[in-house]
């Protein structure tokens, strides 16, 4: 008969064995890619369920012990994430439970949770809307210095090159000068027709799909307001990618691009300014990648939290 006691007695447990020949403390040991459902409130008060991939780790401080107890971490992940909504308090409690399950073996714990958050986005003009799936990564760490939690996500947007726009405008001016003689009074109807023809736009600036990768630490006690963060960044850029698009939406997008010409440096500064002025954000890093259509390589900028008031305003 198989009682739990028998099982425990009969099965060797190599993890607890001493390791005299190959000793050493380890930085992190655990599991990555654990498949588990999560519940998350992205800031709209609605708890959404998602399929997540989890990394669960502790350090191994005892050089002489062969291994950690993987199953304890796994079961704790399942117990907490299956039944509770993910927030800072829950993740801190989970990491404390990791350490309690590894007393005298570990003094640091961390967890990473990756999933996609579906958000319904309205079209620019028409009454339509559609889904965006924003990747979310939560990285929580517990050590002697305390608990730390970072949220990572991505905003995809369009960036039209300001240099290319200026060069295109110059070509359009030159075409205009060729097509309309100086000295001859301008015929309003003829100019209007010219502007609506291919000649009125002989050159177009190049634009690229661009990605802002954000890593944010909220101030203690602030909720993980993902949607608030995304809205702030998308508004700062002005040209986030669209879901449902009718002609009127496409035209509004063209206007938004024309009014928001940007190099990757401009995009980085826009986001820096938007997040610097958000009192709920304690720290952030952002990487902007403009996947150029002019080049086979990308234009890239990095930015992080600036000095309050901005560098330009310091005397
Ligand atoms: N430490 C460790 N365990 C591993 C690894 N790969 C698979 N495992 C298995 O994870 C299983 C669960 O480990 P434990 O948590 O120690 O399981 P257990 O001894 O039944 O559980 P406790 O009694 O709570 O210690 C073991 O059967 C290990 O063989 C590895 O690389 N390291």
What pLDDT is attached to residue 273? 96
Alpha-carbon distances of 280 from 40, 45, 125, 170, 236, rounded to whole Å: 19, 17, 31, 44, 17
Kindly list the domain boundaries of the chain, sorted by start residue. 22-161+206-313, 163-201
Ligand 1 pocket: which of 60, 71, 104 to mutate (most atoms within 8 A of CB): 71
Distance in angstroms (rounded) separating the CA atoms of residues 65 and 109:
17
Note the ipTM here.
0.89
Q: Is the pLDDT of residue 244 over 90?
A: yes
Using alpha carbons, select from 30, 93, 99 the residue that is nearest to residue 67.
30
CA of 73 to the centre of ligand 1 (A): 10
Q: Is the dihedral of CA 184, 186, 187, 192 positive or negative?
A: positive
- Long-range contacts of range 21-24, CB-CB < 8 Å, 24 or more positions apart? 23/63, 23/64, 24/63
Residue, of 229 and 314, whose pLDDT is higher: 229
Nearest ligand 1 atom to alpha carbon 72: 15
Greatest pairwise CA separation for the chain in angstroms: 108
What pLDDT is attached to residue 15? 73
Give 166-186 pLDDT, tens digit per residue: 999 999 999 999 999 888 899
What pLDDT is attached to residue 16? 73
Using alpha carbons, select from 75, 94, 71 the residue that is nearest to residue 141.
94
Q: Is the pLDDT of residue 306 over 90?
A: no
CA 5 to chain centre: 48
Residue, of 3 and 231, whose pLDDT is higher: 231
Ligand 1 pocket: which of 8, 67, 98 to mutate (most atoms within 8 A of CB): 67
Model confidence, pTM? 0.89
Ligand 1 pocket: which of 11, 70, 104 to mutate (most atoms within 8 A of CB): 70
What pLDDT is attached to residue 4? 56
What pLDDT is attached to residue 270? 97
CA of 67 to the centre of ligand 1 (A): 8
- Range scoring the smallest mean pLDDT among 2-16, 27-41, 85-99: 2-16
As for ligand 1, residues whose beta carbon falls within 6 Å of it are 13, 15, 67-72
Confidence category of residue 10, pLDDT binned at 50, 70, 90: confident
- Which residues on neighbouring strands pair with residue 107, listed in sequence order? none
Nearest ligand 1 atom to alpha carbon 13: 19
Indicate the fold that domain 22-161+206-313 takes in CATH: Urate Oxidase (3.10.270)
Identify the DSSP state of 85.
B
Total Cβ atoms within 10 A of residue 276 = 17
CA of 9 to the centre of ligand 1 (A): 15
Distance in angstroms (rounded) separating the CA atoms of residues 11 and 28:
26
With both helix axes pointing from N to C terminus, report the angle between 264-276 and 226-237 in degrees, rounded to the nearest 10.
140
- What tokens were used for 226? 């993902």
Section 5-30 average pLDDT: 77
What pLDDT is attached to residue 149? 97
What is the overall mean pLDDT for the chain? 93
What pLDDT is attached to residue 314? 38
Confidence category of residue 12, pLDDT binned at 50, 70, 90: confident
Is-contact 159 290, C-beta < 8 A?
Answer: yes
Confidence category of residue 254, pLDDT binned at 50, 70, 90: very high
Give 90-147 pLDDT, tens digit per residue: 999 999 999 999 999 999 999 999 999 999 999 999 999 999 999 999 999 999 999 9
Using alpha carbons, select from 263, 219, 221, 257 the residue that is nearest to residue 238.
257
Please give the backbone phi and psi of residue 162, each rounded to the nearest 5 degrees, phi first.
-65, -30
Indicate the SS3 state at residue 113: strand
Q: Whose CA is nearest to atom 32 of ligand 1?
A: 67
Distance in angstroms (rounded) separating the CA atoms of residues 113 and 44:
20
1-14 residues labelled b (16+ CB within 10 A) or e (exposed) = eeeeeeeeeeeeee
Q: Whose CA is nearest to atom 16 of ligand 1?
A: 69
What pLDDT is attached to residue 19? 66
Section 307-314 average pLDDT: 45
CA of 33 to the centre of ligand 1 (A): 17
Q: Is the pLDDT of residue 25 over 90?
A: yes
What pLDDT is attached to residue 315? 33
CA of 71 to the centre of ligand 1 (A): 6
What pLDDT is attached to residue 180? 95
Section 255-269 average pLDDT: 98
Q: Is the dihedral of CA 86, 87, 93, 99 positive or negative?
A: positive
What pLDDT is attached to residue 14? 76
């Amino acid at each position: 008969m198989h009682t739990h006691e028998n099982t425990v007695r009969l099965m060797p447990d190599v993890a607890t064995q001493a390791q005299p020949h190959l000793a050493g403390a380890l930085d992190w040991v655990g599991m990555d890619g654990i498949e588990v459902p999560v519940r998350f409130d992205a800031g709209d008060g609605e708890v959404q369920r998602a399929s997540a991939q989890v990394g669960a780790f502790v350090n191994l401080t005892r050089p002489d012990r062969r291994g950690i107890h993987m199953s304890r971490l796994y079961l704790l992940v399942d117990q907490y994430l299956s039944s509770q909504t993910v927030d800072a308090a829950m993740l801190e409690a989970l990491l404390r439970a990791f350490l309690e399950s590894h007393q005298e073996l570990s003094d640091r714990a961390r967890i990473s949770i990756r999933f996609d958050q579906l958000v319904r986005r309205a079209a620019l003009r028409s009454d339509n809307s559609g889904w965006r799936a924003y990747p979310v990564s939560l990285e929580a760490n517990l050590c002697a210095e305390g608990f730390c939690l970072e949220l990572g996500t991505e905003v995809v947007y369009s960036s039209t090159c300001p240099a290319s726009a200026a060069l295109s405008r110059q070509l359009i001016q030159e075409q205009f000068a060729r097509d309309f003689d100086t000295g001859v009074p301008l015929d309003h109807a003829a100019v209007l027709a010219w502007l609506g023809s291919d000649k009125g736009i002989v050159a177009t600036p190049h634009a690229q799909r661009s990605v802002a990768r954000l890593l944010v630490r909220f101030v203690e006690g602030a909720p993980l307001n993902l949607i608030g963060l995304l809205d702030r960044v998308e508004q700062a850029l002005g040209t986030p990618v669209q879901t449902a698009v009718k002609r009127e939406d496409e035209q509004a997008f063209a206007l938004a691009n024309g009014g928001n010409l940007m190099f990757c440096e401009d995009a980085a500064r826009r986001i820096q300014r938007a997040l610097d002025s958000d009192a709920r954000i304690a720290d952030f890093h952002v990487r902007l990648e403009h996947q150029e259509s002019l080049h086979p390589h990308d234009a890239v900028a990095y930015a992080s939290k600036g000095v309050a008031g901005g560098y330009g305003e310091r005397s």
